[in-house]
Amino acid sequence: MATEVKVPQDLWQDDGMEAVITNWLASDGATVRKGALIAEIMVEKSQFEVTAPADGVLTITKQANDIVRKGDVIGTIA
Amino acid sequence: MGDIAAGRCGGAALLWSCERALVAPASLSRQPGFKRACSRANDAGWPVHLRATGGDLVPQGPDIVNLSLLFRAPPGAAFGLEDAYRQLTSPICEALSDAGISARYGAVPGAFCDGRFNITIAGRKFAGTAQRWRPMADGNAVQSHALMLMRSLDGNTVATLNRFYHDCGIDRVIDAGAHVGLHDLLAKDTDARAQHRILRMIAVRAHASEAHAPAANTRVLSRHLG
């Protein structure tokens, strides 16, 4: 069963604020370890590091420069 | 920040300044003209450094004082991005208020590294802010940062910023008049002492506000604080 990689739900309060994926640090199809830094997102001049929530193979579903909101799924790990 | 994420340090509040340079977010380095822009800036006496916080291109130098807070934020919705900005900017706004200077928050068109959590005075940018968050097992390690102008931007700085954007192929123009420095707000005969006093108040308040950093260690620069 795949584990979702999500934009954190509780890092900011304003539901209307949009973030952008500034960088994927792991490639689509790469094997990643739980806790590894795999992406960065930016909102209101704040850079958030996204870490892998599980071990496995990463599938990227939102690309760099895509706009995302809190709670959005940006990839999966299976 | 790595020490905080690893649990080796509870937190820190740093008031600091540095030599003249341009500091860019890592994302800017992916612009096709970035290398050429760096080369030209360096030739003009502005070495370029990359940083890990978000935002945009900023100048650094002796007329700029930075406040950096590093701390562990608790997990969950109890402490978020907006809280971190409030924690960072409150000591600055309170110190300015004590000095009779009214400050607000907001974006300023034409300002470098513009953002909603700028500290503004009379509609001009006095301080810019940015953050970086790193997940930990039991919360987040957070670095928040405010860049405060001691003097308004001079023509050389504005020209350097605009040339850098042009070389990167970015359509953005910085306006000197969108900024204000602390020096410009103080009476000429007392500005050195008043500036010293305001920065001292910011340092003390930042240290006291580090509720999430019990091991905070506030360091100050002798050049600005004597």
CATH number, residue B155: 3.30.930.10
Interchain contact, B82 vs A13, CB within 8 Å: yes
Name which of B4, B51, B133, B140 to mutate to probe chain A: the one with the most chain A Cβ atoms within 10 A of its Cβ. Answer: B133
Interchain contact, B133 vs A43, CB within 8 Å: no
Q: In 3D, which of B180, B154, B55, B191 has the Cα closest to residue B114?
A: B55
Distance CA B52, CA B27 (A): 9
Is residue B73 domain-resident? yes
Mean pLDDT of B198-216: 68
The residue segments making up the domain with residue B149 are 2-221
pLDDT less than 70: residues of chain A: none
Is residue B226 domain-resident? no
Q: What is the DSSP letter of A35?
A: T
pLDDT tens digit sequence for B125-181:
999 999 999 988 888 999 999 999 999 999 999 999 999 999 999 999 999 999 999
Q: What is the number of domains present in chain B?
A: 1
pLDDT tens digit sequence for A34-52:
999 999 999 999 999 999 9
Is residue B51 domain-resident? yes
Name which of B79, B82, B116, B144 to mutate to probe chain A: the one with the most chain A Cβ atoms within 10 A of its Cβ. Answer: B82
pLDDT tens digit sequence for B47-75:
999 987 768 999 999 999 999 999 998 87
B68 touches chain A (CB under 8 A): no
Interchain contact, B80 vs A43, CB within 8 Å: no
* Residues of chain A neighbouring B118 (CB-CB closer than 8 A): none
Mean pLDDT of B73-82: 83
pLDDT tens digit sequence for B210-221:
644 433 444 444
Is residue B183 domain-resident? yes
B31 touches chain A (CB under 8 A): no
Q: In 3D, which of B98, B118, B86 has the Cα closest to residue B209?
A: B86
Q: Are strands A56-60 and B139-149 parallel, antiparallel or unpaired?
A: unpaired
Amino acid B188: pLDDT: 62
* Residues of chain A neighbouring B79 (CB-CB closer than 8 A): none
Domains of chain A, residue spans: 3-77
Contact B60/B48 with Cβ under 8 angstroms? no
Contacts of B136 (CB under 8 A, 6+ apart): B5, B72
Is residue B178 domain-resident? yes
Interchain contact, B80 vs A46, CB within 8 Å: no
Amino acid B216: pLDDT: 40
Q: Decide which of 2.40.50.100, 3.40.50.720, 2.60.40.10, 3.40.50.300 is the CATH code for A3-77.
A: 2.40.50.100
Interchain contact, B80 vs A44, CB within 8 Å: no
